[in-house]
Chain A
């Protein structure tokens, strides 16, 4: 009982941080959610409704796959906006003297991380709900159960990306460069690193690449996911990673980068 009271007392500052962060980021959440809904409607609804001559994918899983292609931009935007300022804003605003007598650095980073993670997951829930609703609109029921599998991978992916962004936020001076690095790495990283490795003759599966790991979110919509060929020999391309490989890599990303971010944050003077 004593231990539980102690634990409750210990997590109270984290709870307060989560609530405060959620309140502070409320407006951002509403704006980004609205953007993601608009993006979804513009890319996955209007083209098929406005003209009968626009090709609707032949099945629900393919429709869901295509709908999540554009969601990568929202992933970058939401993670960038919520996590790029997670640590460096404390330095920018010089909050050290005001906050740290009240809360430890560890509890602050955990509280902020959880709150922002809840928010980006919330945006994901909204986007995936739109996918579910409109796949029902176009294809009727039942909505594919694989949407939940795909969402689970998305949740893990966001966790890894959040840690990755937090890491950059821990030593950068302002939010903008963090955002630029994340977007650059995700959008252009694969385009630069993969051809270099391929030119060196290494036909490695690019498990290091976060943009490659994202493709599992799209491919797990297919009920026959486990039997789809992962390597395209004609194009000499890896299509998507295996479920096991993705779980291991994303967990490593999430833990390692979060720990590194915490260590840097702890050592840095505010």
Chain B
């Protein structure tokens, strides 16, 4: 018994030491990752607040409209779209996976019918660019812009993506964007120089950093926290001289028919909150804002709690008055 007692402090001490070591290692590993995920399960509703067709035509392009960029009925004021974040998982993705998600989807590249049969399959791509990117895989449900009420099932989910593909993951390291672009342009050059592909009269488009960033924005780039630093790293890596960052906003100068400015503000989850397009005279011709159903629920829950507390208060007051009346009656 005495032996046991003398051993006890040593056991406790060693256990404490192990716990301390575990906690130190977890803390240090937490500090290792520069960016953190702030995406949470929940919904966000986008609404087209302003669309000036004439200004759009004279500034951006007379043959296109917001539907070409944002899909659905994005060219109608009051149209709404919905994004539901279902879950996120830590994962990694190969270069071929990235090409598939980004460029092949954006430009409708005939990967299976043309590139694969000519030897440009995933094995080739991953062999030439053997990098794996750490990502947060986000499962999203996306409802297209519509003036009708939303249906139960999303237009696009990870299980049923369909074109156009919405961003489904966040790169943990934003500096990877520049490497992805370099790899893609290299791949596109190789493919475009292939006589068989040339004979098929097909070529992959080459992109510069700004074009790549614009595509990322159009397809709903989601970012990690701290947001401004993440965005800064992207625009620095992609050499986007026409882009700048102000807090959580990305400001982008684009030339269409005339030069115009696109301002994208990110919310606390790393998803776009507002998309504003204006000309250099600061005249806004297109605006998308966001609504958060969670906020309505907080108000409803607050009201319910208030009502319940009020009822309890009334009940207590009534009982006290009853007691007073009884005691007065007894006296």
Contact = CB atoms under 8 A, between A and B. Distances in A.
A and B associate: yes
A214 to B, nearest CB: 22
Contacts of B125: none
Q: Main SS of the interface on chain B?
A: mixed
A59 B300 contact: no
Contact of B87 (A56, A134, A144, A222): A56
Interface in B144-175: 149-154, 157, 159
Interface stretch (A47-55, A155-163, A177-185, A255-263): A47-55
Contacts of B86: 55-58
Interface residues of A, number: 24
A52 to B, nearest CB: 4
A138 B84 contact: yes
A59 B141 contact: yes
Contacts of A140: 43-45, 82, 84, 150, 291, 293
A52 B150 contact: no
Nearest to A223: B152
Contact of B154 (A54, A59, A137): A59
A134 to B, nearest CB: 7
Contact of B152 (A49, A53, A56, A60): A60
Contacts of A59: 141, 152-154
Interface stretch (B34-42, B279-287, B319-327): B34-42
Query: Which of B37, B44, B84, B139 has the most chain A CB atoms closer than 10 A to its own CB?
Result: B84
A45 B261 CA distance: 41
Contacts of B141: 58-59, 139
Contacts of B153: 58-59
B40 A138 contact: no
B294 A137 contact: yes
B41 A133 contact: no
A60 B37 CA distance: 25
A141 B150 contact: yes
B154 to A, nearest CB: 7
B36 to A, nearest CB: 11
B296 interface: yes
Interface string B59-95: 0000000000000000000000010111111100000
Closest 8 CB pairs of A and B: A140-B43, A140-B293, A137-B297, A56-B86, A52-B88, A56-B41, A48-B41, A55-B87
22 contacts: A53-B88, A55-B139, A56-B84, A58-B141, A58-B153, A58-B159, A59-B141, A59-B153, A59-B154, A133-B300, A136-B297, A138-B41, A138-B43, A139-B43, A139-B141, A140-B43, A140-B44, A140-B291, A141-B149, A141-B150, A141-B293, A142-B149
